[in-house]
Structure 1
Amino acid sequence: MNISLAKIHISNLRLRTFIGFNPEEREKQQDVVINIDIHYPASLSAQSDSVEDALNYKVVTKKVIQHVEEGRFLLLEKLVSDILAISCEHPWVRYCQVKVDKPHALRFADSVSLSLEAHLDSDSSVNPFK
């Protein structure tokens, strides 16, 4: 069997952070909802059943949680870019997309969201975040 890429989807990670440039946004944490898609080669891990041959999504998630909860961001673009960079740190990552929702950012909308994605070469030196 020829297995190409594993697709990890971290779904609806709910955190609180300081996000926004209005005075009230800079004083009070707000909810954000984070979705991350990470694609990486899985042929080895699918056959070996070894943890060392897989990308550890728990490690990625812990780094994201720490960065978001300890950070202060004026723009959603910066927050999403930082999460994308963290999600692309592992040299096996070939593609990553991050979407962050800011619930109730607009009066008549459920949420405002922003997405960014990165396509990475198999050569880790091509990683735009390094």
Structure 2
Amino acid sequence: MILHDATIRIKNLRLRTYIGFNDDEIKNKQDVVVNAVIKYDAKRAADTDAVDNALNYKTVTKAIIRLVENNRFLLLEKLTGDILALCADHPWVKWAEVEVDKPHALRFSDSVSLSIACSKED
């Protein structure tokens, strides 16, 4: 059997959410930048050219947007982990990684980021 390992990359998804535990962070939404990498076997999609046989990155992206914009998070770890769970939820997903940047979180720094990965391969 020939495998067709596909890699979907969702790059620089710019969203706003409540992230942090300082007074200002609790009161005001902040920018976050989400990057996700999702690997799955795309053999069925490649062989059939059928939409139903492909992992729908638009559906995944919309779920990420809803999650981020409609919730509050104290820690980057929780936000990143919740996004990762969404990305890895589909049974075809073999591996996923999510990185979330919090721009201007530190003085003199462009951003702080955290990444978490998971594997479902046997």
Runs of at least 4 residues off by over 6 Å: none
Counterpart CA distance in 1 for 2:4 and 2:56 is 18
How much has 1:44 moved relative to structure 2?
Answer: 1.2
Counterpart CA distance in 2 for 1:59 and 1:81 is 18
Counterpart CA distance in 2 for 1:3 and 1:96 is 17
How much has 1:3 moved relative to structure 2?
Answer: 4.2
How much has 1:4 moved relative to structure 2?
Answer: 2.7
Identity of aligned residues (%): 56
Counterpart CA distance in 2 for 1:46 and 1:111 is 38
Q: How many pairs does the alignment contain?
A: 122
Per-residue CA deviations over 1:92-121 (Å, capped at 9, x if unaligned) read: 000000000000000100000000000013
**Is the partner of 1:106 in helix, strand or coil?**
coil
Counterpart CA distance in 1 for 2:46 and 2:4 is 10
Per-residue CA deviations over 1:26-57 (Å, capped at 9, x if unaligned) read: 00000000000000001111111000110001
**Is the partner of 2:102 in helix, strand or coil?**
strand
Counterpart of 2:11, as a letter, is S
Quote the residue 2:113 is aligned against.
113
Matches within 5 A, 1:15-26: 15-26=15-26
Counterpart CA distance in 2 for 1:3 and 1:120 is 16
Counterpart CA distance in 1 for 2:87 and 2:42 is 17
Task: Give 5+ residue unaligned stretches, structure 2.
Answer: none
Aligned-CA RMSD value: 1.3
Counterpart of 2:43, as a letter, is S
Counterpart CA distance in 1 for 2:73 and 2:50 is 38
Matches within 5 A, 1:24-43: 24-43=24-43
Matches within 5 A, 1:53-92: 53-92=53-92
Counterpart CA distance in 2 for 1:31 and 1:3 is 38
**Is the partner of 2:92 in helix, strand or coil?**
coil
Task: Give 5+ residue unaligned stretches, structure 1.
Answer: 123-130
Counterpart of 1:75, as a letter, is L
